């Protein structure tokens, strides 16, 4: 089998040992490529972790799509809608819908012997998706909704508990803002924490049957419906499907409209990540060019000799492309191992903590998307390989006699 001449020479050059300057520079290049690819992978993974973490917290309270009676003003309390409506009874027939659940809200005041705090009580039913909410629970358990009458158990945020100086299983009086005002003695059975002020400052979870009784509604009347979809990337498409199927008396809203500030923030963060990636690519490309030029300069005599013996410019260029590509592959392997290893350790041991008041979580989240990692690696190889070819074109300018005499 005929061996490629350029590949053979490149292999022989790698076998030459020595503490020369180009060897040091090659190691620096491998290190810079490794750090570059590791930072690129982690930048995407940390952004994905932040985005997923915050989104899941928002979805656990607000779902993907909310449906309630259409009114031209905003209120914490809704007009009643019936569970007999077409949307609720046929939701699972709508393409893209994964789950639907009922809810209701009512303004209230939480009172202890020492403190008073305003809140919004959100009533939930037996169809509530607890699997989405369970990650928010930091103490206690979920409300027991199996009682024959309505439950007097509630879940409040840690922020509210601290403000009112309450703990798990404590009792408190809840005043409901209506005419005439009413009150109920409730028991705290769970404490949640999201770090998101929109929820932690206001929302208390309770049995929807309590709010139905206070509002004078029957068991089929609720404040609205929360709809979860199968694929959030298809939110607009599924929203249109729900719109086509909903009853005329309803109005629907996307979570991206209700909590626009968060999704605008995600877009801004994504732009920042892209800027970082461009800078890293530029630095990695510059290092590859520098190393290749140093390798070419160091082998000037060899280039002249090979030309004198009849080697073409293309054959000589390929020698340095092969060796440069080897540096890139080694750097990529090391960089991927660094990124994945750091991500695993961070998720397991939470080595880098965060202030939940500012970042909505207590540690840096890392979420790997293997398809994204593959694309980053392929894109990095393609772009840096193109950059690698640039310095090798100077070989065509070498004249054999001058190159042989070069020192």
pLDDT at residue 24 in the model: 80
In this prediction, residue 390 has a pLDDT band, given cuts at 50, 70 and 90, of confident
Q: Quick one: average pLDDT of 358-367?
A: 92
Lowest mean pLDDT among 178-192, 269-283, 370-384: 269-283
Lowest mean pLDDT among 12-16, 229-233, 372-376, 378-382: 12-16
Q: Quick one: average pLDDT of 297-317?
A: 85
Residue 65 predicted with pLDDT over 80: yes
Report the half-sphere exposure of 79 (CA within 13 A, side-chain side). 9
CA 333 to CA 30: how far, in whole Å? 10
pLDDT at residue 140 in the model: 97
- pLDDT tens, position by position, 95-148: 999 999 999 999 999 999 889 999 999 999 999 999 999 999 999 999 999 988
Burial profile 122-132: b = 16 or more Cβ within 10 angstroms, e = fewer: bbbbebbbeeb
Q: Quick one: average pLDDT of 190-212?
A: 96
CA angle 115, 119, 123 (to 5 degrees): 130
The answer to whether the beta carbons of residues 210 and 186 sit under 8 Å apart is no
CA 305 to CA 116: how far, in whole Å? 89
Q: Quick one: average pLDDT of 255-267?
A: 94
CA angle 47, 328, 39 (to 5 degrees): 20
The answer to whether the beta carbons of residues 203 and 105 sit under 8 Å apart is no
Beta bridge partners of 175: 109, 183
The answer to whether the beta carbons of residues 122 and 103 sit under 8 Å apart is yes
Q: Quick one: average pLDDT of 15-32?
A: 74
85 — phi, psi (to 5°)? -65, 155
Q: Quick one: average pLDDT of 148-168?
A: 95
CA 339 to CA 41: how far, in whole Å? 6
- pLDDT tens, position by position, 180-197: 889 999 999 999 999 999
Residue 355 predicted with pLDDT over 70: yes
In this prediction, residue 22 has a pLDDT band, given cuts at 50, 70 and 90, of low
In this prediction, residue 29 has a pLDDT band, given cuts at 50, 70 and 90, of confident
Residue 160 predicted with pLDDT over 80: yes
CA 372 to CA 52: how far, in whole Å? 15
The answer to whether the beta carbons of residues 327 and 29 sit under 8 Å apart is yes
């Amino acid at each position: 089998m005929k061996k490629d001449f350029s590949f053979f020479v490149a292999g022989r050059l790698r076998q030459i040992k020595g503490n020369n300057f180009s060897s040091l520079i090659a190691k620096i290049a491998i290190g810079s490529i490794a750090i570059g690819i590791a930072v690129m992978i982690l930048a995407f993974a940390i952004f994905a972790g932040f985005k997923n973490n915050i989104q899941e917290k928002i979805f656990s309270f607000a779902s993907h799509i909310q449906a309630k009676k259409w009114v031209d003003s905003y209120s914490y309390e809704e007009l009643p809608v019936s569970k007999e409506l077409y949307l609720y009874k046929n939701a699972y027939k709508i393409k893209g819908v994964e789950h639907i659940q009922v809810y209701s809200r009512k303004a209230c005041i939480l009172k202890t012997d020492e403190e008073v705090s305003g809140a919004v009580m959100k009533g939930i039913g037996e169809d509530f998706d607890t699997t989405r909410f369970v990650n928010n629970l930091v103490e206690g358990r979920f409300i027991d909704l199996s009682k024959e009458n309505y439950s007097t158990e509630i879940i409040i945020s840690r922020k509210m508990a601290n403000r009112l100086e309450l703990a798990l299983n404590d009792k408190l009086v809840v005043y409901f803002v209506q005419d005439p005002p009413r009150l109920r003695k409730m028991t705290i059975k769970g404490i949640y924490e999201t770090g998101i002020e929109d929820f932690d400052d206001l929302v208390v979870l309770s049995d929807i049957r309590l709010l139905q009784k206070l509002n004078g509604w029957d068991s089929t009347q609720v404040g609205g419906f929360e709809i979860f979809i199968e694929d959030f990337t298809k939110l607009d498409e599924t929203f249109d499907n729900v719109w086509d199927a909903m009853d005329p008396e309803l109005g629907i809203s996307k979570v991206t409209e209700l909590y626009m500030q968060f999704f605008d923030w995600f877009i801004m963060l994504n732009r920042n990540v892209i800027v970082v990636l461009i800078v890293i690519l530029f630095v990695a490309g510059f290092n590859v060019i520098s190393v290749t030029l140093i390798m070419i300069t160091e082998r000037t005599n060899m280039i002249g000799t090979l030309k004198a013996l009849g080697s073409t410019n293309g054959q000589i260029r390929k020698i340095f492309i092969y060796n440069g590509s080897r540096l890139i592959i080694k750097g990529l392997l090391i960089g991927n191992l660094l990124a994945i290893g750091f991500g695993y350790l961070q998720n397991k041991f939470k080595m880098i903590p965060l202030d939940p008041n500012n970042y909505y979580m207590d540690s840096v989240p890392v979420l790997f998307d293997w398809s994204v990692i593959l694309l980053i690696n392929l894109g990095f190889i393609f772009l840096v390989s193109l950059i690698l070819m640039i310095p090798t074109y100077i070989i065509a300018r070498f004249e054999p006699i001058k190159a042989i005499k070069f020192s």
